[in-house]
Structure 1
Amino acid sequence: MQFLLKKGWYLLISSAFVLPAMAQEPQQYRQEYDAGHWLTQGDAFECRLSQTLSGVAQGSFVKTPGQPLSLRLQLLSPHNEFNSAHVQIRRADWHEDSMSGGLDVREQGVVEGDLAHFNALPTRLLSQIPKGFWLDFIVEVDQQPLQLTFTSIDSAQALLSYQECLRKMAPLSWEEARNYDVTFETGQRWIRSQQVLNHLKNLVRYIELDGKVSRVLIDGHTDSVGSAASNRALSQDRADEVASRLAEFGLQSEVMEVRAHGSRYPIASNKSDKQGANRRVQIRLVRDNG
């Protein structure tokens, strides 16, 4: 593997950190001090705080709806792959020895080709950036050990922008939003659970942000207790209740399609203890992929 030297980082030989599995000391690629800026990019469905070690790799703190914060290291040179990857916090060159900060934070990553994921400790790692600490990635790429150091300078504004991006993020992922069942007790017509109401409110917010949801299907169901006519009416009441709540939270009525099915489509045996699953209103989102 070969990296070209470019302005913005140094090529050094380091003996400070050697993984036991490595037979040779890692080459160090360190971001130049005044290039250690973190940049924020994102929208309602992904927020990314990144720094690029020119020509070598990009490190990014990535958050998407419904998923925990992740730290990712992406190789920039084509056809190179990780054999292993670790990350740790280190002091900046100008830090005093007494500054310990989060120096005990270390994690082994999961490697997939030219991408390494760190999923256990990125929140703790991110918390050290505004204190001026650096990120060290100790990696092996195509059997060659490397130490990639991302420095940090004037990170306060970038972190504020990142927090603002997180604040505006969609409250749900597509996987969480696309299908949702509201369940009911026997004979119940009204939603009483605050947790369910919060999810419906988040669902409306998701639909506003997605921009591609063309229809919201609302299907009412019951168990087999009672007559067909009473169950049909009960399923209609339940579906109408869900639709009215969605409208209350701002969903336009023209995108909603409300249907009542009574007990015709059970998803569990009505003679088992899972009968309650049939007392439901199913909400399904339909996307216009065009």
Structure 2
Amino acid sequence: MRQRYLLLFSLLACVPAQAITFQTRLEQAEWKVEGDQFECRLSQAITDFGVGEFVRRAGEQAIFRLQARERWLGAGSATLLAAAAPWQPGRGDINLGMVNVAAGEVPFNSTQLQAGRLLAGLLDGRSPLVRHRTLQGGETLEVRLLPVRFAKAYNDYMGCTAKLLPVNFDQVRQVQLGFPSGGTDLDDRARARLEIILQYMRADPSVNRIELDGHSDNSGSRLTNRDLSRRRALAVQGYFEASGVPAERIVVRFHGEQYPLVTNSNAANRAKNRRVTVRLSRVPEPEPAGAESTAEPASAPAAAGPASS
């Protein structure tokens, strides 16, 4: 009898734990498209779990992520699969590698390559599937999206991405404009970068402050280098103002050779140091004179120092 119990116990120990699966019922699964010129999202609600979504920001490729209402996924790693749909049992899954899982409402973001392969898999009838260990007991947890009614939503999503700006704020908040020839005139490349910055600013009026810092290499005297850096910064300022940016929103500083990006040890490095740094920011607009406010007055900003040489 004891041997029979031991045999039964060993057999049960070999049976894998059943996975906890989150998946919307087939007839209720829907894809939703939202977005604007800054970001596009292609998502599917997952019953009792949250949302699985593809997110593409302006200037970037899409990533895939989950939004979880509860903390189902513990810290660690999960496997990302382009899985065969539940009604395709004979079809193999495609392992797309691991993702790092952390605490929070969005436990992970996939790589752009993984997201691209998931989208291709959906077009081929495959399901995005995340496989992970749960916090309690170490059971396997699976989160699955379904490929039903995907083609129409994907077309709408592609229409949204076609209207995205060429860059996002993180890509234009600090830009280096080079003056490789050593002069003070803007070349075609600098103008093209300025046009991209202006395109973003027109789309996002909350970006209302521009700081320009002019620089030089160490080829000339300090006074000459300071003047070159000043004229370079003024050239960029003039371009912004000619494009409609109010002068009061632009701060100009010039530093000569004082802050090189790299050592001025050769011609290539000196070319890198001849530049204007453009920084964009969002500064709260002052309230109109006489307007009542319940907020405490903000502390005065630090006064800008004199231009460096």
C-alpha deviation, 1:155, in angstroms: 1.9
Partner of residue 195, structure 2: 201
Matched with 1:10 is none
Q: After superposition, where does 1:31-110 map in structure 2 within 5 Å?
A: 31-78=24-71, 81=74, 83-94=76-87, 103-110=93-100
* Superposed CA offset, 1:3-29 (max 9, x none): xxxxxxxxxxxxxxxxxxx95231333
Q: Which amino acid aligns with 1:201?
A: E
Change (3 A) 1:269 1:87: closer
Please state how far the C-alpha of 1:288 moved relative to its aligned partner. Answer: 1.7
How far is 1:260 from its partner?
6.0
C-alpha distance in 2 between matches for 1:67 and 1:269: 29
Task: Measure the CA separation in 2 of the matches of 1:191 and 1:55.
Answer: 57
Q: How far 1:232 moved relative to its partner?
A: 4.8
Deviation (angstroms), 1:112? 0.6
Q: Tell me the amino acid that sits aligned with residue 118 of structure 1.
A: S
8 Å Cα contact 1:105-1:125 kept in structure 2: no
2-structure distance, mates of 1:232, 1:284? 20
Alignment of 1:108-119 (within 5 A): 108-114=98-104, 115-119=107-111
Q: Distance in 2 between matches of 1:243 and 1:207?
A: 15
CA distance in 1 between counterparts of 2:61 and 2:284 reads: 27
Q: Which amino acid aligns with 1:176?
A: Q
Shift of 1:122: 0.9
CA distance 1:149–1:286, change in 2 (3 Å): closer
Q: Distance in 1 between the 2:212 and 2:67 partners?
A: 42
CA deviations on 1:248-284 (whole Å, 9 max, x unpaired) are 6x45243553636362633358763344443211212
How far has the Cα of 1:126 moved from its partner? 0.8
Aligned with residue 156 of structure 2, among 138, 161, 166: 161
Task: Report the secondary structure of 1:199's partner residue.
Answer: helix
- Kindly report which structure 2 residues correspond to 1:95-244, keeping only aligned pairs within 5 A, or say none: 103-114=93-104, 115-119=107-111, 120-142=113-135, 143-185=138-180, 187-194=182-189, 196-227=190-221, 230-244=224-238
Q: Output the CA distance in 2 between the equivalents of 1:181 and 1:61.
A: 31
Measure, in 2, the Cα distance between the counterparts of 1:184 and 1:208.
Answer: 26
Note the aligned Cα RMSD (angstroms). 3.2
TM-score (norm 2): 0.71
Alpha-carbon distance, 1:49 to partner: 1.3
SS in 1 for 2:45: strand
Identity %: 24
Bigger Cα Rg: 2
Contact 2:83–2:94 under 8 Å retained in 1: no
CA distance 1:44–1:289, change in 2 (3 Å): farther
**Which runs of 5 or more residues in structure 2 are unaligned?**
1-14, 286-309
Unaligned runs of 5+ in 1: 1-21
Greater strand percent: which structure? 1
Q: Which amino acid aligns with 1:92?
A: A
